[in-house]
Amino acid sequence: MDLELLIDALVAGLLLGGFYGALSLGLAIAFGLLDVPHIAHPAFALLGAYGAVLMQGWFGLDPVLSGLILALPFYALGVAVYSFYHTTFERRGTDAGLRGLAFFFGVAFVAEVILILLFGIDQRGVRAPYIGRALVLGEFRLPWRMLVASGVALAIAGAMALWLSRTYVGRAVQAVAQDATALSLLGADPVRVKRIGFGIATASVALSGALLVVVGPVEPGLARIYIGKVFAIVVLAGLGSVGGTVLAALLLGVIESVMLSSPVASWTPAVAFGLLLAVLGLRPQGLFGR
C-alpha cells in the first residue's frame, strides 16, 4: 500500500470511526453503566433512522434536526422499556441477564418485522445539502455526510460527559453502576436512576439513528450489521467510558478502513469480533477502563 492510499484510508477511517462513536455512546450508558444487556440498541437506532425519513417526508425537516426532535419520544420509549425490563426480569433474581438478553433480542426482532410491514424491504434515504457533497482539501475529498456524523458524535460525547460529571443524576448513574445498595442508603432510588439513565441513552439513539440514514440508505435488516460493532466498541473502551468509547470507535474505524484498502479486505467484517475477543482475553476491563 503506497503512502497516499494509506493516508486516504486513515482519514476515511477517522470519519467512519466518528460515526461508529455516535452509534455506540448510548450503549456505553445502557450496557456499560446500567448493566442492561441492550442487544436491541442498533434496532432502536434504525427506528430513529426511519423516524427521520418520515419527518422529512411529512415536514421536509433536515434529518439531524429530526433526530433532535425525536429524542423526547425516544426518552419516553426508553423509560417504558426499562420499566418493563426491571419489573419482568431485573427484579426477579440472578438470571436477569440471560432472560434480559432474550427479551431485547425479541424486541430487536419485533422492531425489524414492524419496519418491514410498514416500509417494505426497499431501502429508504433522505436529502440534505451535505449529502452527496465533499469538502476538498488539496488531494483529499472529505464527504460532508461523514463530517457531520463525526461532528455530531463529538457533540453527543461532550454532552454525555458533562451530564455524567456535572449533574446529580449523572453522578448517580455512575454510582449505581458501582454500588446500588450504597446509593440507596444515600437516599436515591437506584431503579429511578437507572430508568432516567436508560431514557437518556435511548434519547441519544434517536440522534445517532438520524445519522445512520445520513451516512447511507437504510433497510429493515441493517441493525444486524451493527450489533457486533457497537458491543465491541463499548467493551474495547471499558464499560461506561464515554471518552474511551469515542477513541475505541475511531480505532475500529481506522482498522476497518485500512483493511478495506489492503489485500485482506474480505476479512474486514471480522475485525470487530477479533478486537472483542482480544480485549476480553488480554485486558477484560477495556483499553481505557480502570
Helix (H, G, I), strand (E, B) or coil at 151: helix
- Grid cell listed for 160: 454525555
pTM confidence score: 0.92
Evaluate if residue 289 carries a pLDDT over 70: no
pLDDT band at 109 (very low <50, low <70, confident <90, very high): very high
Distance of CA 245 to the CA centre of its chain: 10
Evaluate if residue 1 carries a pLDDT over 70: no
- pLDDT above 70 coverage of the chain, percent: 97
pLDDT band at 61 (very low <50, low <70, confident <90, very high): very high
Mean pLDDT within 79-96: 84
Evaluate if residue 92 carries a pLDDT over 90: no
pLDDT at residue number 4: 76
Tens of pLDDT along 32-50?
889 899 999 999 999 999 9
Average pLDDT, the chain: 89
186: CB partners within 8 A, 6+ apart = none
pLDDT at residue number 66: 96
Higher per-residue confidence, 168 vs 93: 168
Taking CA 108 as the corner, what is the angle to CA 105 and CA 112, rounded to the nearest 5 degrees?
Answer: 140
CB burial string 122-145: b at 16+ within 10 A, e below: eebebebebbeeeeeeeeeebbbb
Domains located in the chain, CATH noted: 3-282 (1.10.3470)
Burial (CB < 10 A; 0-12, 13-18, 19+), residue 1, is exposed
Ramachandran class of 66: left when φ > 0, alpha when ψ lies in -120 to 50, beta otherwise: alpha
Tens of pLDDT along 20-29?
999 999 999 9
Mean pLDDT within 69-74: 97
Inter-residue contact 26 to 202 (CB < 8 Å): yes
